[in-house]
Structure 1
Amino acid sequence: MRLFKKDPLQVIVFQSYGTASHLYVRGRALEDESIDLEGKHPIKLLINAYKRFETDEVINATLLLKLPNGQIFETVTDDEGYFLLDVKVDGLDALANEEGWLSFEVAFKDFTNKRIIQLENRFPGEMLIPCIDQGSATKAVSFGVASDIDDTILHTGLVSTLKWRVIYNTFLKRASKRSPLEGAAEFYHLLHRGKTGEEANPIFYVSHSPWNMYRYLEFFLKKNNFPKGPILLREFGKFLNRKKTQEKPQKQHEILNILKTYPELKLILIGDSGEHDADIYLEIAELHPDRILAIYLRSVKHKKKMLRVKGLYENYKTTPVLLVDSSKQAMEHARENGFVSETLI
């Protein structure tokens, strides 16, 4: 009889994005720590937070990805349990639904160490293929949205003194009790449906948070009825070393990669005025002035930061920039500029 029972194995497949000929899937193989996203007791919440960051990775494991048409691809997890499948495959759009989502399954291959595997070793995943080509059978796309999460759609408290509110919200507040900013979900649905009300404009959720927070954020977005979209985070090591490197922020890399992946797609950028969104978005807009339709920045309760952001955009006229106190202001601007349907507001 073993003194300590090993946890079952699982694969967390991150919602990703690709094209009709490019299969791009990321995820992570971990031991299942049974994190309860609905846990209520403070001690339980702290334990769950600890489990999110103290992960037991399944390294060097061969995984199989199976498409609906029976095609199978192999990938191997790295020394942190992450995997990336990046291959050219024709005809992927024919396998997607009308919103552009391609569903598939991931499984462990030949795992022979007698470990229990969750979900009968069939882990669901999805990849978004936006319908840029109007001739496709899927819903049309007019533009995309790249949105921050923290203090843009989710009350976080990044501008609070000593970041105490961030710590409280992250470690002592369950996902089901986190508050979305008023009207945010409605605004994003309007953008998703576009001017005709029948579009499937992709929403990309881009955050500086580590991948350890993926399921927490996925749960929050789903529970608060935000449109489904790829959630793009970063590895925990890069999160810890973010101030030691001179590289561009991960959020900036992700948005530039979206623009590169879809050369015909224009974007609306949404963020807040509290941290670095204003600087990142300005640089992206200057690099791609013909690709950025608008920049919406939520105001924060921090006078010095607001003055800095206003000064940053004071003489910038290339792309419409709006500092907003509410989702209603952003909705009205989007309506006036023909981004959303007038009849749905």
Structure 2
Amino acid sequence: MSSRLSLVRPMALVDAGRNGDSRDSGDFRSPLTLPPTRKPADRRGDDRKSLLRPVVSDRAVACCRPFLDLKSPLQQPVPSENSILRLLHRAAVSVEDAWDRARYRASAAVGRSRPRQIVAYQGYADRDGVWVGGRVLSDRPTGGPLDNDTWWNNLVNTWRRWESDEVPYAPVQVRFGGQFRELSADEEGYYHARFGFDRENIPDDRLSWLKATASAGSEGRQIVASHPVMITPANATCGIISDLDDTVIHTGITSLLLAAKLTFLENAKTRKPLDGVAKLYQALQRGHSAHPINPIFYISSSPWNLHDLLLDFLRLNEIPLGPLLLRDLGLDETKFIKEKGHGHKHRKALDLLAAFPQLPFVLIGDSGQEDPAIYAEIAAQLPHRIRAIYIRDVDPEFDTCRDTAVNRAKQLAEGHGVPMVLARTSMEISRHAESLGLLPMAALRDALPDSV
């Protein structure tokens, strides 16, 4: 099941209400504990030597033994918090798997389990070749937003995104540049493919986009989708890694009610970008070139279910396209959420730096979540690879704990020689980028007022 409605919150609601430290941790802490019960002292011995022993029923011990490796009920203490959570986790995984199997059998019985849609994600070429990925669904494509969509239409479309039905283990054929891969999707319908890549006849002075083709389904009912593949030119001067929520798209992370409204009741046409972000990103993508030359990657904690909405948003607002690196939500055998939100950002950013070892990078995020801490840690690990870090101030009118967190991150990054700028406007980012030589002087002076 792809929606995981009982476990996750969509898009900006993920981590929106924490107001505290939202760093990922593998040490799950449960609010449930089993207090030890005092056993009465042995009247036949010394009354002063009372014993403390947990009271656990034989049935409870028998249930926990497979997970706690108990040899005897009397040899083991009460299950720890982590042990209880592991037990609950395994039970949740079993319930989810059983539910997915039941839904798939029910869909197959009425002919709804066959592939009807391939969601083809944007791919890219790196030093090791070309990467593409996508997902096979049994839902029909819904199409993009319409001018007359109401809040109810938007709410229904949001529900459909979260309730999309994958086709587990669907056979998929992917073609790129004369190469062919025959794959099997995983249990959630996701597939990934790697191809070799020859840069001959690829322009060195601009970004190029090639195409990979994916197909699925039986003969006569085959569906086809295209993966745009971004090719970074040899003359690129830097790469850009950007967050999306409250960095590119206005999410209202500081207000839970506003974030819910924008997430559930708006669409790609009615959602608004931050002021000046399109012009700023176009300039960063061009650098000092006459054509787009620098690759942009969007790493977000939003789930893959929102890929179509985010892609439509970028296109409609003329924000430069680039691969969207989102995350998978749900359960697996080792953790409650397959890719934990901010750990996913850190890992994928480091993967990109490793994939493009010749490129320095600019990191752009916001102060609403953990971007400053994540980016500062990357700067501390690889200071020679990061030209600058830009953090959008989500509440510029107020001095809050978010500003304190940014200042801590700023000290860490700048201690390793990497500048971090807390910016109120796109123009502030542009002027600092100009001072580093990332943009030509006065790159946006005519395009943006100082207040944007």
| Residue in structure 2 matching 1:300, options 389, 394, 409 | 394
Q: Match of 1:184, as an amino acid?
A: V
Q: Could you give the per-residue CA deviations for residues 239-265 of structure 1, whole angstroms, max 9, x where no partner exists? A: 9945996x9610111100001111111
Name 2:78's counterpart in structure 1: none
Name 1:66's counterpart in structure 2: 175
| Distance in 1 (alpha carbons) for counterparts of 2:339 and 2:135 | 25
- Are residues 1:51 and 2:160 paired? yes
Task: Confirm or deny: 8 A CA contact 1:147 1:203 kept in the other structure.
Answer: yes
- Are residues 1:169 and 2:262 paired? yes
Q: Match of 2:164, as an amino acid?
A: T
Alignment of 1:328-339 (within 5 A): 328-339=427-438
| Residue in structure 1 matching 2:187, options 79, 87, 105 | 79
1:122, distance to aligned residue in structure 2 (A): 2.7
Task: Confirm or deny: 8 A CA contact 1:9 1:32 kept in the other structure.
Answer: yes
Task: Confirm or deny: 8 A CA contact 1:38 1:176 kept in the other structure.
Answer: yes
**Pair 1:59–1:244, CA change in 2 (3 A):** closer
| Residue in structure 2 matching 1:35, options 116, 139, 142 | 142
**Structure with more strand by fraction:** 1
- Are residues 1:326 and 2:425 paired? yes
Q: Could you give the per-residue CA deviations for residues 309-338 of structure 1, whole angstroms, max 9, x where no partner exists? A: 124324634101111000011011111211
- Greater CA radius of gyration, 1 or 2? 2
1:270, distance to aligned residue in structure 2 (A): 0.2
Identity percentage of aligned residues: 32
Residue correspondences, number: 324
| Distance in 1 (alpha carbons) for counterparts of 2:328 and 2:137 | 14
1:304, distance to aligned residue in structure 2 (A): 2.0
Q: Match of 2:133, as an amino acid?
A: R
Name 2:249's counterpart in structure 1: 154
Q: Secondary structure at the match of 2:186?
A: coil
Q: Secondary structure at the match of 2:300?
A: strand
Q: TM-score, normalized by length of structure 2?
A: 0.67
| Distance in 1 (alpha carbons) for counterparts of 2:225 and 2:183 | 14
Q: Secondary structure at the match of 2:429?
A: helix
| Distance in 2 (alpha carbons) for counterparts of 1:158 and 1:144 | 27
Q: State the superposition RMSD in angstroms.
A: 2.6
Name 1:277's counterpart in structure 2: 371
Q: Could you give the per-residue CA deviations for residues 17-36 of structure 1, whole angstroms, max 9, x where no partner exists? A: 23265221111011234435
Q: Match of 1:75, as an amino acid?
A: L
Q: Match of 1:299, as an amino acid?
A: D
Name 1:310's counterpart in structure 2: 407
| Residue in structure 2 matching 1:200, options 288, 293, 306 | 293
Name 1:124's counterpart in structure 2: 226
1:202, distance to aligned residue in structure 2 (A): 0.3
Q: Could you give the per-residue CA deviations for residues 164-187 of structure 1, whole angstroms, max 9, x where no partner exists? A: 222111110111011100000100
Q: Match of 1:335, as an amino acid?
A: E
Residue ranges of structure 2 left out of the alignment (5+ in a row): 1-108, 445-452
Task: Confirm or deny: 8 A CA contact 2:282 2:292 kept in the other structure.
Answer: no
Name 1:189's counterpart in structure 2: 282
| Residue in structure 1 matching 2:236, options 141, 151, 155 | 141
| Distance in 1 (alpha carbons) for counterparts of 2:339 and 2:345 | 16
Q: Secondary structure at the match of 2:383?
A: coil
Q: Could you give the per-residue CA deviations for residues 15-70 of structure 1, whole angstroms, max 9, x where no partner exists? A: 12232652211110112344354252222211111110111112212111122x43
Q: Match of 1:105, as an amino acid?
A: T
**Pair 1:203–1:90, CA change in 2 (3 A):** closer
Q: Secondary structure at the match of 1:206?
A: strand
| Residue in structure 2 matching 1:17, options 124, 131, 138 | 124
Q: Secondary structure at the match of 2:315?
A: helix
- Are residues 1:223 and 2:223 paired? no
1:217, distance to aligned residue in structure 2 (A): 0.2
Q: Secondary structure at the match of 1:122?
A: strand
Between 175-184 and 164-173, the greater mean CA deviation after superposition = 164-173
**Pair 1:241–1:152, CA change in 2 (3 A):** farther
**Pair 1:339–1:155, CA change in 2 (3 A):** same
Q: Secondary structure at the match of 1:212?
A: helix
Name 1:137's counterpart in structure 2: none
Q: TM-score, normalized by length of structure 1?
A: 0.86
Residue ranges of structure 1 left out of the alignment (5+ in a row): 134-139
Name 1:136's counterpart in structure 2: none
**Pair 1:250–1:95, CA change in 2 (3 A):** farther
1:126, distance to aligned residue in structure 2 (A): 1.7
Between 144-153 and 93-102, the greater mean CA deviation after superposition = 93-102
Task: Confirm or deny: 8 A CA contact 1:212 1:236 kept in the other structure.
Answer: no
